[in-house]
């Protein structure tokens, strides 16, 4: 007997018909002799709808109440799926995160799972029931409802699979696997049969929202076999996310391309090039709870230097006001910003053993006359910041240049 955790995303449960289709799929897996725990998201659009309601009442709603409210989307789908399963003769019970004790810290809106109590789920499975759990939500030490951040049902799925030592965690979505890049942007993108946790983590961190970052972290940490599959088609193998066993040399140099429009860039010009200047700029930014991504400090000239960094786009105004406030104190000549940028990144473990990837990337972008504004590299990725309007062109050109296009 194997235990499988399946997670169905918003579009996969977006209507009663879709929920019925999920119920049929669950029934079929169960008929093959598997124990099943099923995690579901809110119906597509529901989480956005709920958040918009709260924003009509307050610009910055209280985080506790926001979680209390937005977690209801998933509570609807768990019960609907249980009802659909009962209709086709499958015993099932639904639970909220709190009911199966998905315990988290108290960071509303981005809570981290700390522990999961599997007793109740085990008892149901032993009694032959399918267990349905609301994704995206948990409960903190004081009994408050928390949520795990957008896309957090993936993390619920993987965390349950880890806690239950499931044989596989299957993430069902509206694409049939992880592709070389978002297939909605590049129709020639190819499905990957396999990708390493390490690469998937980079892809997710750099903007590929097919899996929430934390779900990949969890899967890597607890070595949960993770597969991305389509809930709209039958029988595909999807994409397996694994620890790599093959030799890196055998791998393609680049496995995928990620991109992210959710960024903005700010520059502090003409600050004194003295020890501690980075701290004096970034300290107040950190204190304002603004996350920083890429950072570039120019080589100083005449004792002055320029300092550029990127932040999440929703933090753009906030970071500009922090910098304008401290500009005088730190002796900056000018503060400027641009929220029409995008980050494009190449990811691949093959980069470790191949030189010239950066050169080829820059050459490809040059040929398209796309100016590179910032560059950052690590062992298995290279990211560039470009003007937002060139993002899709950059992704397509790189996809072709690095031989990622599907054969026609
Ligand atoms: P769900 O609601 O099932 O959680 P998401 O919208 O969160 O689904 O994730 C699936 C979407 O991720 C796809 O529709 C696709 O547009 C997008 N996506 C982005 N990058 C990739 C990629 N590299 N491979 C596959 N899908 C990707
Ligand atoms: N419903 C939540 C969201 O839209 C969680 C999820 O779908 O994974 O972000
Ligand atoms: Mg998702």
Mean pLDDT in residue range 102-127: 96
pLDDT of the residue at 131: 98
Nearest CA owner, ligand 1 atom 11 = 210
Q: Indicate if the pLDDT at residue 315 is higher than 90.
A: yes
Q: Indicate if the pLDDT at residue 247 is higher than 70.
A: no
Tens-digit pLDDT profile for residues 184-226? 999 999 999 999 999 999 999 999 999 999 999 999 999 999 9
**Nearest ligand to the C-alpha atom of residue 345:** 1
At 204 the three-state DSSP class reads: helix
Tens-digit pLDDT profile for residues 359-371? 999 999 999 999 9
Contact criterion met (CB below 8 Å) for 6 and 30: no
181 lines ligand 1 (CB under 6 A): yes
Q: Buried b vs exposed e over 120-140: b needs ≥16 C-beta within 10 Å?
A: ebeebbeeebbbbbbbbbbbb
Cα–Cα dist 283/235, whole Å: 52
Sign (positive or negative) of CA dihedral 119, 123, 125, 126: positive
**Nearest ligand to the C-alpha atom of residue 232:** 1
Kindly give the number of the ligand 1 atom that is closest to the alpha carbon of 178.
24
**Nearest ligand to the C-alpha atom of residue 136:** 2
| 238 within domain boundaries | no
pLDDT of the residue at 323: 94
| 222 within domain boundaries | no
CA of 235 to the centre of ligand 2 (A): 25
Q: List the CATH number of the domain containing 112.
A: 3.40.1160.10
CA of 343 to the centre of ligand 1 (A): 18
Considering the domain architecture, whether residues 7 and 143 belong to the same structural domain is answered as yes
- Which of 158, 173, 188 is the endpoint of a domain? 173
CA distance readout (Å), 189 to 10, 164, 175, 339, 340: 23, 34, 12, 28, 25
| 106 within domain boundaries | yes
At 285 the three-state DSSP class reads: helix
CA of 189 to the centre of ligand 3 (A): 19
| 323 within domain boundaries | yes
pLDDT of the residue at 12: 98
Cα–Cα dist 382/357, whole Å: 8
Containing 122, the helix (H) or strand (E) segment is helix 119-126
Contact criterion met (CB below 8 Å) for 84 and 22: yes
Kindly give the number of the ligand 2 atom that is closest to the alpha carbon of 152.
8
**Total structural domains in the chain?**
2
Cα–Cα dist 156/152, whole Å: 7
Tens-digit pLDDT profile for residues 150-176? 999 999 999 999 999 999 999 999 999
Q: Indicate if the pLDDT at residue 122 is higher than 80.
A: yes
Considering the domain architecture, whether residues 169 and 261 belong to the same structural domain is answered as no
CA of 310 to the centre of ligand 1 (A): 24
Tens-digit pLDDT profile for residues 51-91? 999 999 999 899 999 999 999 999 999 999 999 999 999 99
| 53 within domain boundaries | yes
Containing 262, the helix (H) or strand (E) segment is strand 256-272
199 lines ligand 1 (CB under 6 A): no
pLDDT of the residue at 155: 98
Contact criterion met (CB below 8 Å) for 44 and 11: yes
Q: Considering the chain, what is the average pLDDT of its residues?
A: 94
CA of 316 to the centre of ligand 3 (A): 25
pLDDT of the residue at 221: 95
Kindly give the number of the ligand 2 atom that is closest to the alpha carbon of 154.
8
Which residues contact ligand 2 via a Cβ below 6 A? 9-10, 41-42, 47, 73, 135-136, 150-154
Beta strands 168-173 and 226-230, pairing class:
parallel
Considering the domain architecture, whether residues 272 and 153 belong to the same structural domain is answered as no
174 lines ligand 1 (CB under 6 A): yes
- Which of 173, 191, 220 is the endpoint of a domain? 173
Considering the domain architecture, whether residues 166 and 270 belong to the same structural domain is answered as no
CA of 146 to the centre of ligand 3 (A): 18
CA of 228 to the centre of ligand 1 (A): 10
**Nearest ligand to the C-alpha atom of residue 12:** 1
Cα–Cα dist 215/377, whole Å: 24
Kindly give the number of the ligand 2 atom that is closest to the alpha carbon of 42.
1
**Nearest ligand to the C-alpha atom of residue 71:** 2
pLDDT of the residue at 256: 96
Tens-digit pLDDT profile for residues 317-365? 999 999 999 988 888 899 999 999 999 999 999 898 888 999 999 999 9
Considering the domain architecture, whether residues 168 and 263 belong to the same structural domain is answered as no
Contact criterion met (CB below 8 Å) for 116 and 100: yes
Question: CA nearest 337: which of 318, 356, 353?
Answer: 318
Q: Indicate if the pLDDT at residue 245 is higher than 60.
A: no
- Which of 145, 173, 201 is the endpoint of a domain? 173
pLDDT band at 269 (very low <50, low <70, confident <90, very high): very high
Tens-digit pLDDT profile for residues 23-46? 999 999 999 999 999 999 999 999
Nearest CA owner, ligand 2 atom 5 = 151
pLDDT of the residue at 217: 95
CA of 359 to the centre of ligand 3 (A): 34
Measured N-to-C along each axis, helices 197-205 and 213-221 cross at an angle, to the nearest 10 degrees, of 160
| 117 within domain boundaries | yes
Kindly give the number of the ligand 2 atom that is closest to the alpha carbon of 48.
4
Q: How many CB atoms lie within 10 A of CB 160?
A: 26
| 198 within domain boundaries | no
Considering the domain architecture, whether residues 26 and 164 belong to the same structural domain is answered as yes
Considering the domain architecture, whether residues 71 and 168 belong to the same structural domain is answered as yes
Containing 74, the helix (H) or strand (E) segment is helix 72-87
Q: List the CATH number of the domain containing 292.
A: 3.30.2130.10
Cα–Cα dist 385/259, whole Å: 10
| 249 within domain boundaries | no
Residue 82: give the domain boundaries: 3-173
Cα–Cα dist 402/256, whole Å: 9
- What are the start-end ranges of the E strands in 64-192? 92-95, 102-104, 113-116, 130-134, 137-139, 145-147, 168-173
Kindly give the number of the ligand 2 atom that is closest to the alpha carbon of 212.
8
Considering the domain architecture, whether residues 8 and 156 belong to the same structural domain is answered as yes
pLDDT of the residue at 35: 97
CA distance readout (Å), 292 to 219, 265, 283, 339: 25, 10, 11, 14
Considering the domain architecture, whether residues 283 and 136 belong to the same structural domain is answered as no
Contact criterion met (CB below 8 Å) for 152 and 164: no
Considering the domain architecture, whether residues 284 and 154 belong to the same structural domain is answered as no
Considering the domain architecture, whether residues 165 and 263 belong to the same structural domain is answered as no
Considering the domain architecture, whether residues 168 and 261 belong to the same structural domain is answered as no
Containing 194, the helix (H) or strand (E) segment is strand 194-196
Residues around the ion ligand 3 (C-beta < 5 A):
9, 151
């Amino acid at each position: 007997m194997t235990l499988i955790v399946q997670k169905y995303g918003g579009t996969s449960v977006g209507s009663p018909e879709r929920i019925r289709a999920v119920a049929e799929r669950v029934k079929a897996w169960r008929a093959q002799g598997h124990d099943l725990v099923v995690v579901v998201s809110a119906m597509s659009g529901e989480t956005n709808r709920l958040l918009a309601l709260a924003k009509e009442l307050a610009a910055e709603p209280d985080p506790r109440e926001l979680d209390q409210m937005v977690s209801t989307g998933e509570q609807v789908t768990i019960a609907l799926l249980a009802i659909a399963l009962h209709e086709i003769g499958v015993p099932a019970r639904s639970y909220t995160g709190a009911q199966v004790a998905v315990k988290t810290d108290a960071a509303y809106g981005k809570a981290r799972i700390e522990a999961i109590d599997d007793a109740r789920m085990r008892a149901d499975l032993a009694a032959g029931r399918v267990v349905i759990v609301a994704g995206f939500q948990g409960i903190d030490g004081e009994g408050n409802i928390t949520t795990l951040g957008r896309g957090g049902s993936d993390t619920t799925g993987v965390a349950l699979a880890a806690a239950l030592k499931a044989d596989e965690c299957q993430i069902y979505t509206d694409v049939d696997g992880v592709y070389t890049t978002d297939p909605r942007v590049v129709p020639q993108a190819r499905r990957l049969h396999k990708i390493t946790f390490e690469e998937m983590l980079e892809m997710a961190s750099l903007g590929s929202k097919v899996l929430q970052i934390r779900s990949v972290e969890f899967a890597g940490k607890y070595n949960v076999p993770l597969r991305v599959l389509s809930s709209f088609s039958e029988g595909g193998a999807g994409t397996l996310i694994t620890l790599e066993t093959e030799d890196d040399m055998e791998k393609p140099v680049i496995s995928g391309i990620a991109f992210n429009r959710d960024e903005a860039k700010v520059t502090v010009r003409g600050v004194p090039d003295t020890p501690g200047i980075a701290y004096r700029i970034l300290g107040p930014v950190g204190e304002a709870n603004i996350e920083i991504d890429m950072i570039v400090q120019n080589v100083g000239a005449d004792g002055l230097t320029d300092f550029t960094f990127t932040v999440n786009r929703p933090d753009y105004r906030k970071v500009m006001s922090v910098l304008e406030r401290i500009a005088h104190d730190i002796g900056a000549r000018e503060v400027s910003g641009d929220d029409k940028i995008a980050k494009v990144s190449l990811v691949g473990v093959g980069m470790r053993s191949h030189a010239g990837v950066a050169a080829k990337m820059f050459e490809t972008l040059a040929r398209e006359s796309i100016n590179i504004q910032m560059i950052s590299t690590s062992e298995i990725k290279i990211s560039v910041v470009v003007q937002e309007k060139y993002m899709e062109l950059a992704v397509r050109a790189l996809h072709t240049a690095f031989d990622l296009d599907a054969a026609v």
